[in-house]
Structure 1
């Protein structure tokens, strides 16, 4: 047995170890991740040495982990390069060769979380002292004639070094004597397997816990694409997401610049978030050199691409970077920017090559995707990918793009018209759209509140302005011929026009402050009246959204537009000519106003409207009976 020597830690190393051990750092299980990562690095060095020297290594590369519940120990063994006495002192006796005082100061001041400090300064090994009373490292270097060395320390003040005379296999064995508190947590193989599967599942070398190989799933994102079959992608997707279905689509990419990373991303077949939990249940798993850094990182892809599942693995980040630091990391922002472009480019290609397949994607994930209206950097790509139902389609499932709409636009038309409604049926009956139906001008149908924000953000596409049908310029619509000859009544005489003006003034007087104005309309054909926003800027649907946000339950003041060619209005003109005080005028004014409110979704108390309808039906049925006698 060689001579045993004792070496004191530098003062700042002792301080750091004290801070580590007595910190509030809760994720103590990462000690195993750090030791496995070190073992993996040692095995990689053997592989590199063999390749560069053209020699063949006869030792099987592996990592073995065992637990002794009775002794309260965990042992990690690798068949890697091992260390000489000098390397052991250099790598473990001091911390990262420099910066220790700075590290200690930062840890003391609490300016940065400990999980970001570990690893950044090369102190991953020392995380073991969060769970250990004593650690023994036994190692033999791959270098010829290197003697085995043993290193023992309680992580407080000093460490003991001893060269061994007995034969020890090449590589490194670390025996961790757990504290009393940690024995129940880590001195059992089941717990160790769970930690490996969580943090180190894709390490490139076999990891055994006891006799069982734990990391059985290949890091598929690191494999050449041409070698991978669809079944392998599907198997990996199911392992990753617990989805029972195969993925709808797969995007496997390898990037060298501006940041080096591999990514394997999947689009599920269906939206798996029926209860709106997507904000939390989204994100790509972030790995550094096959080691999991963060599950479901929220910064790699924006929320509107939250339906994408998968992993990103980079060489360029430090292994143990904290979540807080990740959010401010320039490399993460560069990776994110590249990933967004790749996903959007992939969707653009799908939309171009197979419209039916893209429609399938849209029906599953379109609602989430529409939140991308806030991504101004990718506005053009977003605009080309967004889809809506349309009056040109036969049913509510039919989709159209802005480009499709433009291809069908009438000669001289430079607007894309849209309208919001609760359903296709409701929009088919909307008074605002009568002029569009009459002239055969396509209108995009919006069914969800977010659609309004999309239109507001996009504003124009290829020289076409997005305009709400409600705010359409009638002068522009007048240039287009009606599809069929309109059967209008004779134009109003001057006397009738004068009576109509008086009638509208009377209706305004009857309704009082409920409306801002009563005026003649050019847009209506089948409906007697409609309501319009007085400012002409905010649509009725957007007004509703704003009222919900501000918790305003009042009925807004609007403009009441009257259709002078409607039979009911013509009858009211005749009645008004005979008797300006006929009670039917006031009754009809209130009825028309409340009916318009009902269509707009503002009428909360329908009692008066129903009572009036019943009264009118009673009277009209009496007139009908009398005329038949």
Structure 2
């Protein structure tokens, strides 16, 4: 049968051209990694064929023994990787090989720094493994045919690492994909039997199907039974056994690390992992990893996530999200279960009671793994928290049954430390609480500097009471669901009347009562001026160095959460703050002495606007504030 070539040339998208240029100029610090990536792609193709063969057994019939073969030609300077997996159609070739990093090339390019060494660490987060071939090759040919398609539907993709690639139809007798690398002059080392075998053993020993190479020729002079014309013999170079099926005692740390890189396409070692076999009411094996680097889509809650799911050693899906809660979406790994149907689908998974039981067990295992890391290696746990802390704070709202476990893993900045590092646990805080202190105090702000200098902390500093400094956008939402820890309620220092509990002695109470009494007349005058802007006015002992502040009512949304929701475009009901004045501050005392009511109103509104600014809010009428302030400054010069 004659095949019409139908050859077309296509251009890469702009971002892809830039990325391809970087790949070609050796962003990888270790060139040999290209082989790991291509072998991993071939292994994925075999997994996908197994899955499709569940509903269409005929796909495997033409060649049932799945394998990956690696061949080289020293004279021609080529290296060939062939698999008999799922293969690709013409459209799939254009989609998968014609668009680099479909899920995020633009984001990737935005995060490049211009420093090749630093930029190399970004590779692997956008599915660009195939393009690592151009590190060692100046031209790549891909020949492929999708399983079940006719031989006349083969496809040839060709690219020389420039701005364009070509695609044409070819006659291709075999199912699967062949990738031919035309090696650069400085990469001819990879056309070597010993070099290739060592790379395969190092990076791909765990691949669950054989990675084969030609048997090495017997030394000259030996009794060689090979005959001229005999078909070449291949032998498996790797162990060809799924790593998670092996006993933990037989798996080395380096093998666990390489397997993580295989399933995640990451280039850094994981922070930690847990390999576990469960037998009994449920029968499954899990291998879970905590990455050492956060993906760019970590905060996109609808992004692809989840574990690689196998059922009875048969690959089912890449992103089985049903087995871990959303706040643990950074976890990578493999789940292999004997208790799920082979014809499993996402709908069945969502309703299956075994799925819920496995999800509960895996969630506890991840939390225990993190707890163990925190106790065993504080530095590594701090690295984890810096990467994924904000996501972990989503946990108490989503996973009530594990709220206490999650709470013990949380870390915060506090007034106890001088830097912005979030390294203090709630257990640390409770252990340092003063005698008589009943609440865990916190303040929310946009950043550490604002939180640290907040006027709401003044009385707490004076009394040496520690306050949590919460600067993540999720924090106010988190404490609203957490509510308490170890029997201690969370208390926002910028909300409601100040309550220091038993930490307030008799002298403090007497001072507060005296201030409220003496400032009664002033409070009424201020209330009359600000009646349209505030819910109430009161004297306070919360402040030491500041003249005034704004606080939210006990049942109102905090100021930080309010700003976040408004910025997100949500319409919120009006909620006026409470204006608190410090009767001991010279400005407030001066205000109390002012007889001119117009001037009193101007000074009061200036204090109100300053309190707004100190709380991190924007002024509703900045021009009015500037006018009042300018008037005051001019009067000072008279």
**TM-score normalised per structure 1:** 0.64
Residues 71-86 of structure 1 mapped to structure 2, 5 A cutoff: none
Aligned to 1:616: 632
Of 605, 624, 629, which residue of structure 2 is paired with 1:590?
605
Q: 2:552 maps to what in 1?
A: 533
Matched, 1:467 2:482: no
Q: Deviations over 1:134-189 (max 9, x none)?
A: xxxxxxxxxxxxxxxxxxxxxxxxxxxxxxxxxxxxxxxxxx98568977799554
Partner of 1:236: 259
What SS does structure 1 have at the residue aligned with 2:613?
helix
CA separation of 1:372 and 1:76: change in aligned 2, threshold 3 A? closer
Equivalenced residues, count: 455
Aligned pair partner of 1:456 in 468, 480, 485: 480
When structure 1 is superposed on structure 2, of 539-548 and 405-414 the one drifting more is: 539-548
Match of residue 279, structure 2, among 235, 256, 261? 256
Does the 8 A contact of 1:63 with 1:207 survive in 2?
no
Instruction: Mark the CA change 1:274 to 1:328 in structure 2 (over 3 Å): closer, same or farther.
Output: closer
Number of the residue aligned with 2:464:
440
Kept in 1, the 8 Å contact 2:264–2:332? The answer is: yes
Contact 1:431–1:524 (CA under 8 A) maintained in structure 2? yes
Q: Deviations over 1:84-143 (max 9, x none)?
A: xxxxxxxxxxxxxxxxxxxxxxxxxxxxxxxxxxxxxxxxxxxxxxxxxxxxxxxxxxxx
In structure 2, C-alpha distance between the alignment counterparts of 1:531 and 1:543, rounded to whole Å: 14
Q: Confirm whether residue 562 of structure 1 aligns to residue 578 of structure 2.
A: no
Shift of 1:229: 1.6
Contact kept? 1:594, 1:603, Cα under 8 Å: yes
Q: Tell me, what secondary structure is at the counterpart of 1:518?
A: strand
Of 319, 326, 331, which aligns to 1:308? Answer: 331
**Structure 1 residues 211 and 469: alpha-carbon distance in aligned structure 2, compared to 1, 3 A threshold:** farther
Pick one of 360, 372, 385 that aligns with 1:337: 360
* Distance (whole Å) between structure 1 residues aligned to residue 210 and residue 68 of structure 2: 13
| 1:27-47 superposed Cα distances (whole Å, 9 cap, x missing partner) | 9995556649989xx9xxxxx
> Is the contact made by 2:407 and 2:485 (CA closer than 8 Å) also made in structure 1?
yes
Aligned partner of residue 287 in structure 2, secondary structure: strand
Q: Distance in 2 between matches of 1:492 and 1:364?
A: 47
Partner of 1:257, secondary structure, is coil
Corresponding residue to 1:391 among 393, 415, 426: 415
CA distance in 1, matches of 2:631, 2:589: 21
Matches within 5 A, 1:9-88: 31-32=52-53, 35=57
Query: Could you say if the C-alpha distance between residues 192 and 261 of structure 1 is closer, same or farther in structure 2, counting changes exceeding 3 Å?
Result: farther
SS at match of 2:535: strand
Deviation digits for residues 438-481 of structure 1 (CA, Å, limit 9, x no counterpart): 11111111112311222122222222111112246645357446
Normalized against structure 2, the TM-score is what?
A: 0.63
Distance 1:612 1:206 in 2: 79
8 Å Cα contact 1:439-1:480 kept in structure 2: no
Superposition pairs of residues 289-438 of structure 1, within 5 angstroms:
289-373=312-396, 374-438=398-462
2:561 is equivalent to residue 542 of structure 1: yes
The answer (yes or no) to whether the contact 1:286–1:294 under 8 Å persists in 2 is: yes
2:544–2:582 Cα contact (<8 Å) kept: yes
Displacement of 1:416 after TM fit? 0.8
Mapped contact 1:265–1:308 kept (Cα < 8 A): yes
Measured after TM superposition, the shift of residue 420 of structure 1 is: 0.5
Structure 1 distance, partners of 2:592, 2:540, is 16
Alpha-carbon spacing, 1:439–1:189, altered in 2? closer, same or farther (3 Å): farther
Shift of 1:541: 2.5
In structure 2, relative to structure 1, the CA distance for the partners of 1:451 and 1:214 (3 Å cut) is: farther
Distance in 2 (alpha carbons) for counterparts of 1:472 and 1:493: 16
Task: Note if contact 1:518-1:561 (Cα within 8 Å) is conserved in structure 2.
Answer: yes
- In the alignment, the residues of structure 2 paired with residue 440 and residue 419 of structure 1 have an alpha-carbon distance, to the nearest angstrom, of 15
- Any conservation in 2 of the 1:393–1:399 contact (CA below 8 Å)? no
User: Match for residue 506 of structure 1?
Assistant: 525
Larger radius of gyration: 1
Unmatched 5+ stretches in structure 1: 1-26, 43-61, 67-74, 78-175, 195-200, 624-629
**Structure 2 CA distance for aligned equivalents of residues 523 and 268 of structure 1:** 44
Would you say the 8 A contact 1:203–1:290 is kept in 2? Answer: no
